[in-house]
Amino acid sequence: MNLESLPLFPQFMRVLCSYRISSFQVSDIFSKVLLLGVENNNINYQNVYRLVQRFVKEGYLVIDGTKTSYKTYSETEEMNSLRARLCSEPKEIIDELISVKNQLELEVSSLSSEIELYEELKQSYPNLQFIIEQLKQKNTKHLSYLKNKINALCSLIMHLP
- Give the residue from 27, 60, 86 where a domain finishes: 86
Is the pLDDT reported for residue 10 higher than 70? yes
Please check whether residues 136 and 65 belong to one and the same domain.
no
Distances 67 to 93, 109, 140 between C-alpha atoms, Å: 44, 61, 59
- Give the residue from 54, 86, 118 where a domain finishes: 86
- Give the residue from 86, 108, 143 where a domain finishes: 86
User: Higher confidence at residue 6 or residue 106?
Assistant: 106
Please check whether residues 55 and 125 belong to one and the same domain.
no
Q: Does the pTM of the predicted model rise above 0.75?
A: no
User: How sure is the predictor about 68, in pLDDT bands with cuts at 50, 70 and 90?
Assistant: low
Domain boundaries, position 38: 3-86
Please check whether residues 21 and 79 belong to one and the same domain.
yes
The pLDDT of residue 1: 59
